[in-house]
Amino acid sequence: MFELPRIHIGDWVESVVEWLTDNFGLLFDLIDYVIGALIGGLEDLLAWPPPFLLAAIFALIAWRVRGVGFGVFTLASFALIDSIRLWDDALLTLSLVLVSSLIAVAIGIPAGIAAGRSTAVGATLRPALDFMQTMPAFVYLIPAIIFFGIGTVPGAVATIVFAMPPAVRLTELGIQQVDKEVVEAGHAFGSAPAQILSRIQIPLAMPTIMAGVNQVIMLALSMVVIAGIVGAGGLGAVVFRGITRLNIGLGFEGGLAVVILAIFLDRVTAAIGDKSSARVAAATAK
């Protein structure tokens, strides 16, 4: 019976990872230091005010962007997190999610702009984005652990890779959906490409870009438990302990705190996106 020869793709990947580890160790150390410092610094900043004061600040933000009802819900929800003694874990998770999302957005939006303005760039990025979105998230942890060891940073790196594609795709979509006649009018008035991008394309694409930012944050939160497996700590570690110990109550409490963070971040970013849409609609109507 005819049998195809075995292709050792895994061995090739291991060789590439080993080569990267041997030749770019200093770069990985720098990345480890920068991401670790950002997460630690943000966590220290969030931990500085008393829990009730920080919950009140979050509630004020919620009230400003969504109204009184969501403000009251936010205050009660974060008070609940403190009452079940998961405040410190929630702050670490929030810091990890925000830093990972910020880095993913900082890389993804420029890449999406480039893809939206160039068909060749879009065609080049598309297979990589498909790969990043369909590869099981656990697989990202293997090279992350090899490059950065155990701790918060490998969880953050895996989160960045997993959460980045929506920022690229929706930014590209937003740029492509800008009315071509508006862009041509900008050219007709002698605007430089940079001016057309900054004053026409990005403002008009902002609602779609903000939708991408929202999706990045939601995907980053979905990686919390997986990050907890590699020692990232936070609510992911709480849920993971509940799973390994078959402790339903502990797992539910950790999961509930994750849900509260997800609702807060989702509603705030969605409200910012809605306001961007309203500003675009008002500017277009003039």
3-state secondary structure 174-188: HHHHCCHHHHHHHHH
The pTM for the full model equals 0.86
Residue 90 lies in a domain: yes
Q: What is the pLDDT of residue 279?
A: 64
Residue 178 lies in a domain: yes
Among residues of the chain, what percentage have pLDDT more than 70?
94
Residue 12 lies in a domain: no
Nearest CA among 167, 179, 178, 272 for reference residue 209: 167
How many domains does the chain fold into?
1
> For the segment 207-218, what is each residue's pLDDT rounded down to a tens digit?
888 888 888 988
Residue 181 lies in a domain: yes
Nearest CA among 86, 39, 77, 85 for reference residue 55: 77
Which residues form the domain of 189? Answer: 23-285
Mark 24-44 as b/e (b = at least 16 C-beta within 10 Å): eeeebeebbeebbebbeebbe
Q: What is the pLDDT of residue 56?
A: 92
> For the segment 145-165, what is each residue's pLDDT rounded down to a tens digit?
878 777 788 888 888 888 889
pLDDT band, very low/low/confident/very high, at 272 (cuts 50, 70, 90): confident
Mean pLDDT of 240-262: 87
Q: What is the pLDDT of residue 31?
A: 87
Q: What is the pLDDT of residue 276?
A: 62
CB neighbour class for 7 (10 Å; exposed up to 12, middle 13-18, buried from 19):
exposed
Asked if the model's pLDDT at residue 5 lies above 80, the reply is no
> For the segment 64-104, what is each residue's pLDDT rounded down to a tens digit?
888 888 899 999 999 999 898 889 989 999 999 999 999 99
| CATH of residue 250 | 1.10.3720.10
> For the segment 179-206, what is each residue's pLDDT rounded down to a tens digit?
777 777 777 777 777 777 777 788 888 8
Q: What is the pLDDT of residue 76?
A: 93
Averaged pLDDT score across all residues of the chain:
84
Residue 30 lies in a domain: yes
Asked if the model's pLDDT at residue 10 lies above 80, the reply is no
Q: What is the pLDDT of residue 282?
A: 58
Q: What is the pLDDT of residue 27?
A: 85
Residue 4 lies in a domain: no
Q: What is the pLDDT of residue 284?
A: 53
Residue 13 lies in a domain: no
Residue 10 lies in a domain: no
Mean pLDDT of 102-123: 89
